Amino acid sequence: MSPFFFYSFATILILASLAVVLARNPLYNVLALVVAIFSLSCLFVLLEAFFVGMILLLVYAGAVLVFFLFVVMCLNLNTVSLASDAQRRFRWLGTVVGLMFASSFCLAFKSFIKAQTMEASTIRGTIETIGKILFTDYLLPFELTSLLLLIAIFGIVSLAQGALSTGKNVENS
Amino acid sequence: MVSPQLVWVAFFAPLVACVLITLFFLKCKTSSSLIAIAGILTSFICSCLVFTQIFQSNPPAQLQQSLPWIHLDTLTINFGFLMNPLAIMMLLIVTGVGSAIFIYSRGYMDEDPSSPRFFAFLSLFAFSMIGIVLSNNFIQLFIFWELVGLSSYLLIGFWYAKPSAADAGVKAFMVNRLSDFGFLCGIILLWSLSDIGAGRSFQFTDLMNVVPHLAPHMLTIVALLLFCGVIGKSAQVPLHVWLIDAMEGPTPVSALIHAATMVAAGIYLLARTFFIFAPSTTALTFIAYTGAITSLMAAILAVAENDIKRILAYSTLSQLGLMVMALGLGGPMQGMYHLTTHAFFKALLFLGAGSVIYALHHEQNIWNMHGLLKKMPITGITFLVGTLALSGIFPLSGFWSKDAILGLAFANNSTLYLIAALASGLTAFYMGRLFWVVFWGDSPVHRRRANEHEVQESPAVMTIPLIFLAILSAIGGFIGIPHFLFPQQAPEELNLKVALISSVIALLGLGFSYLIYGKRTEADPLVTKLGGFYTVLQNKFYFDIVYGWYVNTIQQTLAICLARFEKEFIVRFCVGGVTNLARSGGKTFRYLQNGLVQFYALIFILGAILLFLFLMLIK
Amino acid sequence: MITLGSYLTLSGIIFSIGLVGVMTSRNVLKVLLSLELLLAASNVSFVAFSKFNGDYAGQLIVFFVILVAAAEVAIGLAIIVLMYRRLSTIQADELRTMKW
């Protein structure tokens, strides 16, 4: 059972990420990413990391990608006018570099023999177990990330303030 | 015992005089001359004192003192002096004759507005010459050798506004530089071979122990290279060309530098380091023949000269050739003896010529002078003494020293003896010619400026040195100079046969010249008698022309080629190429910064991949 | 048989796709999305390691990565909106001022 699920979710994940990169319409890009996150979450559940799987869905797919969708809708993009001459040269170069990366990854991977023979352990990433560790050993990072989020909010609000005033000038002129 | 302080004072007194004059007294004529005379007289007095100290003990004392100068791992050069009988005799000559000439030049140069500069240069020369005499190692000797060359250049071109004088100074310096190259090669070669266990050395006393250990052919090469220096400095063939043009300098300069002391430095070097030359018969033969050829060639050329100083210059060349020949025949004692007596009478002759030039307001052509014996008696009589001494007439000093050399030649090599005897005969001939044309006759008439004021005897400051030198030339043979020079050597017996033959030759020469020149003539009768050969003599056997052609064509082309090479290849290609490379490299590489952030990310990731591959490969 | 290796291979593939997306996208929004793909790939490998090593640290790191990714996306989108307001376009090669 397990291999079947793994391979199907992995295939969906790969196809979705290809769609993220290759699709023309920005809307399709975002929606493909949503699909990818869904399959990712399923993979996490396969690995018995339930907590992070759910968090991924709630935070990522639920909030971040929705935010992406808002912006895409806001910006009113034309799908056609996105062809540019200057970057055509680098498209194939970028693809080549990506392939180089993939191959060097395989190269590195070949030497990691243990990966082929390891046995999975029996831990389960449920809310209780994660919560126990989070609030005892990893309390400090937890609090610091809340500070980080606060700073991010400050940043966005100040950027938006500037945008608002510029926007006002644009509208008035 | 010998006190070293006296030697150091004698060494540096003229330098102090030169520095004082240059710093403070370049405007005062009287003070500068007095300071210079004081400097050289101090050296002379100290030399006399050291002389008495050396010869107080028997065997005579010897002193060497060195200050450490350069001390590296493999290179040691000291600064010091080596005082032995040979050195003190040479020092006495240099300072004694030098003092006479310094006093003389006070009178000769008093009309010249830049005479303080003259006395500064003269003191510098005296210091350098004393340095050569006293040095105890080759590098110090070479330094002073070059300094003497420099002083000679400065003094020959003293009247630098005159183009011929400036050119003559440059010519002297260049020819000397050429010979000094060979000299330096010889010094360094000898130094590199001088390691017999105690490290390499430049000192004469150390090299004396080294020479027996050297291979014969290496020793010959070293000897010949060292002789190169002598060829230049003592004006042997083929580097004799500078001495004739050096007469452009003031007469005291010609007397001091180009007759008595500087050109004798080569002979002194040969005598001082004779232990290097003695074992090598090839080198000695070469030296002897060079000297003989120089002697004969100069004597022949003197016959065709019409400038009083140039005749004397050729006679200097001829006598130097004789001295070099004597050294080549293995007789340093004879060579140095002749050097000493030659210093006396040659300085006397030059100063006498200077007196004549001064009295006739810088007239130098002998055909414009006549019958000066009546008007300038002191000059005339002292000049006669000098002429007779130079010709080798008994009992003047020249007779004894020249016969020592001729006796040595007679005993060893008859070809050389014949050449030397011929040269001596010609010497008597042209000196007689000079005397008859300039001083003999009844009515003193000089062609140019016939209405100028009367010719009169030169002032006392000029005639007293003349008298002093004349006395020395006369009694020089009787004061036992060879004994003082080389106390260990037994005195040579006079070869009566040789003495008789040479006296006869000299008298023949003088008589022959009287026959041709005794009566007053308008121009030189030899011109018509010798015809075409006279033209060859006038062109000085074409040496100057050949050298001039060589320098103008071959050397200049080479220099231009090298200059072109330097400009094109080194400057434009190498240096310019580097800058062009940097510039074009920059121009190409700046397209990497095109402002597209994704391109930067691409390069970034590419670099990371390459680094990763590199680390994988190292594993 | 699903081993750690399979998960790591998957992570590598997703990462490469994300890299290509970052380097070649004409659209700045797509760049940001590809960036999210990179993070997702590393999340996969972290969780896989956590499961196979028996250490919860991997999953906690994923938790924090998600948080930070959220913050980063928010700011990134704000910047993109500003860019759109100024240049009326979101093509990446319109931002060319950092050049020679």
Give me the amino acid identity at A114.
K
pLDDT tens digits, B121-154: 999 999 999 999 999 889 999 999 999 999 999 9
Q: With beta carbons less than 8 A apart as the criterion, state whether B335 and B406 touch.
A: no
Sign of the alpha-carbon torsion through B425, B431, B435, B438? positive
A167 has pLDDT over 90: no
Task: Centre a 10 Å sphere on the Cβ of residue B289 and count the other Cβ atoms it contains.
Answer: 18
**pLDDT attached to residue C89:** 79
Radius of gyration of chain C (CA): 17
**Cα angle value B449/B305/B405 (rounded, 5°):** 130
Interface contact C92-B602, CB threshold 8 A: no
- Report d(CA B282, CA B288) in Å as an integer: 10
Beta strands in B142-257 (DSSP E): none
Largest Cα–Cα separation, chain C: 54
- Report d(CA B221, CA B232) in Å as an integer: 17
From the list B155, B246, B234, B141, the residue with the least C-alpha distance to B190 is B141
B78 DSSP β-pair partners: B68
Q: With beta carbons less than 8 A apart as the criterion, state whether B99 and B37 touch.
A: yes
- Report d(CA A75, CA B161) in Å as an integer: 92
B44 has pLDDT over 50: yes
- Report d(CA A142, CA A100) in Å as an integer: 37
Work out the average pLDDT over B27-45: 90
Q: What is the 3-state secondary structure (H, E, C) of B427-490?
A: HHHHHHHHHHHHHCCCCCCCCCCCCCCCCCCCCHHHHHHHHHHHHHHHHHHHCCHHHHHCCCCC
Contacting subunits of C (3+ beta carbon pairs below 8 A): A, B
- Chain B partners within 8 Å of A86 (Cβ): 596
**Residue A62's domain is classified under what CATH number?**
1.20.120.1200
- Report d(CA B519, CA B436) in Å as an integer: 8
Task: Give the contacts of A146 (CB within 8 A, at least 6 positions apart).
Answer: none
Number of Cα atoms under 13 Å in the Cβ half of residue A17: 29
Q: What is the DSSP string of B167-178?
A: HHHHHHHHHHHH
Task: Give the contacts of B250 (CB within 8 A, at least 6 positions apart).
Answer: B105, B108, B109, B112, B118, B155, B158, B159, B354
The residue in chain C having the minimum alpha-carbon distance to the alpha carbon of residue B587 is C100
Question: How far from each other are the two terminal CA atoms of chain C, in whole angstroms?
Answer: 54
Percent of chain A at pLDDT > 70 equals 82
Work out the average pLDDT over B479-499: 76
- Chain A partners within 8 Å of B596 (Cβ): 86-87, 90
Q: With beta carbons less than 8 A apart as the criterion, state whether C37 and A109 touch.
A: no
Inform me whether the C-beta atom of residue B559 falls under 8 Å from chain A C-beta atoms.
no
From the list B612, B402, B377, B353, the residue with the least C-alpha distance to B503 is B402
Give me the amino acid identity at B256.
L
C12 has pLDDT over 70: yes
Domain end (from A53, A77, A101): A77
Q: Residues B414-420: contacts with CB within 8 Å, 24+ apart?
A: B416/B288, B416/B289, B416/B292, B416/B325, B416/B329, B419/B292, B419/B293, B419/B295, B419/B296, B420/B292, B420/B295, B420/B322, B420/B325
**pLDDT attached to residue C40:** 94
B378 has pLDDT over 70: yes
Three-state SS for B304?
Answer: coil
Helix axis angle, B414-439 relative to B308-328, nearest 10°?
160
- Report d(CA B614, CA B601) in Å as an integer: 20
Instruction: Please check whether residue A96 lies inside any domain of the structure.
Output: no
**pLDDT attached to residue B451:** 42
For C47, the token pair is 């969780």
Work out the average pLDDT over B548-553: 85
**Cα angle value B185/B189/B194 (rounded, 5°):** 150
Class of residue B313 by CB neighbours under 10 A (exposed 0-12, middle 13-18, buried 19+): buried
B64 DSSP β-pair partners: B82
**pLDDT attached to residue B603:** 86
Q: Which H or E run includes B204? A: helix B204-210
B576 has pLDDT over 60: yes
From the list B433, B467, B482, B168, the residue with the least C-alpha distance to B347 is B467
Percent of chain B at pLDDT > 90 equals 31
Instruction: Please check whether residue A70 lies inside any domain of the structure.
Output: yes
pLDDT tens digits, A54-90: 999 999 999 999 999 998 888 877 654 555 554 566 6
**Which DSSP letter does residue A119 get?**
P
**pLDDT attached to residue B454:** 65
Instruction: Please check whether residue A119 lies inside any domain of the structure.
Output: no
- Report d(CA B452, CA B364) in Å as an integer: 16
Inform me whether the C-beta atom of residue C9 falls under 8 Å from chain A C-beta atoms.
yes
**pLDDT attached to residue B148:** 93
From the list B439, B447, B444, B437, the residue with the least C-alpha distance to B519 is B437
Instruction: Please check whether residue A122 lies inside any domain of the structure.
Output: no
Q: Mutate which of B592, B613, B614 to disrupt the A interface (most A C-beta within 10 Å)? A: B613
Q: With beta carbons less than 8 A apart as the criterion, state whether B175 and B232 touch.
A: yes
Percent of chain B at pLDDT > 70 equals 96
Residue B567 Cα distances to B391, B512, B560, angstroms? 58, 62, 10
**pLDDT attached to residue B520:** 66
Q: Give the nearest partner residue to B593 out of C24, C31, C100, using CB atoms.
A: C100
Task: Centre a 10 Å sphere on the Cβ of residue A148 and count the other Cβ atoms it contains.
Answer: 17
- On average, the pLDDT of chain A sits at 83
Q: What is the 3-state secondary structure (H, E, C) of B556-573?
A: HHHHHHHHHHHHHHHHHH
Q: Mutate which of A7, A14, A20, A33 to disrupt the C interface (most C C-beta within 10 Å)? A: A20
**pLDDT attached to residue B521:** 67
For B455, the token pair is 């010719």
Q: Which of A93-102, B187-196, B441-450, B520-529 has the lowest mean pLDDT?
A: B441-450
Three-state SS for B536?
Answer: helix
Q: Give the nearest partner residue to C23 out of B590, B591, B598, using CB atoms.
A: B598
pLDDT tens digits, A106-133: 777 776 776 677 777 778 888 898 999 9
Interface contact C66-A13, CB threshold 8 A: no
Work out the average pLDDT over A30-49: 94
Work out the average pLDDT over B493-507: 84
**pLDDT band of B449, cuts 50, 70, 90:** very low
**Cα angle value A154/A157/A162 (rounded, 5°):** 125
Residue B571 Cα distances to B560, B563, B579, angstroms? 15, 11, 11
**pLDDT attached to residue A89:** 63
Task: Give the contacts of B205 (CB within 8 A, at least 6 positions apart).
Answer: B64, B82, B136
Instruction: Please check whether residue A95 lies inside any domain of the structure.
Output: no
Higher pLDDT residue, C34 or B491? C34
For B533, the token pair is 């050969």
Task: State in words which class domain C4-94 has.
Answer: mainly alpha
The full set of domain ranges for chain C reads 4-94
For B255, the token pair is 């007397």
**pLDDT attached to residue B450:** 46
- Chain C partners within 8 Å of B590 (Cβ): 100
Inform me whether the C-beta atom of residue C33 falls under 8 Å from chain A C-beta atoms.
yes
Q: Give the nearest partner residue to C13 out of A14, A114, A162, using CB atoms.
A: A14
Q: Give the nearest partner residue to A97 out of C4, C23, C27, using CB atoms.
A: C23
Higher pLDDT residue, B75 or B288? B288
Q: With beta carbons less than 8 A apart as the criterion, state whether B270 and B334 touch.
A: no
**pLDDT attached to residue A78:** 64
Taking one residue from A and the other from B, the number of pairs with CB-CB distance under 8 angstroms is: 26
A164 has pLDDT over 70: no
Higher pLDDT residue, B518 or B130? B130
Residue reference for tokens 């110090």: B140
Torsion angles phi and psi, residue B286, rounded to 5? -60, -45
Q: Mutate which of A96, A101, A103, A105 to disrupt the B interface (most B C-beta within 10 Å)? A: A101
Query: Among residues 50-89 of chain A, which lie with CB inside 8 Å of chain C?
Result: 51-52, 55-56, 59-60, 63-64, 67-68, 71-72, 74-75, 77, 82-84, 86-87
Residue B447 Cα distances to B4, B159, B352, B365, B444, angstroms? 56, 26, 21, 11, 10
Q: With beta carbons less than 8 A apart as the criterion, state whether B506 and B424 touch.
A: yes
Inform me whether the C-beta atom of residue B604 falls under 8 Å from chain A C-beta atoms.
no
pLDDT tens digits, B225-282: 999 989 989 888 888 888 888 888 888 888 888 777 888 899 999 999 999 998 988 8
Range of the domain at A7: 1-77
B379 has pLDDT over 60: yes
For B442, the token pair is 């009844």
The residue in chain B having the minimum alpha-carbon distance to the alpha carbon of residue A102 is B609
Instruction: Please check whether residue A154 lies inside any domain of the structure.
Output: yes
Q: pTM here?
A: 0.70
SS3 content of chain B, % helix, strand, coil (to 5): 75, 5, 20
B184 has pLDDT over 60: yes
**pLDDT attached to residue B583:** 93
Give the distance from residue B573's alpha carbon to the nearest chain C alpha carbon, in angstroms.
29
- Report d(CA B320, CA B264) in Å as an integer: 7
Structurally, how many domains does chain A consist of? Answer: 2
Work out the average pLDDT over B593-619: 84
B203 DSSP β-pair partners: B137
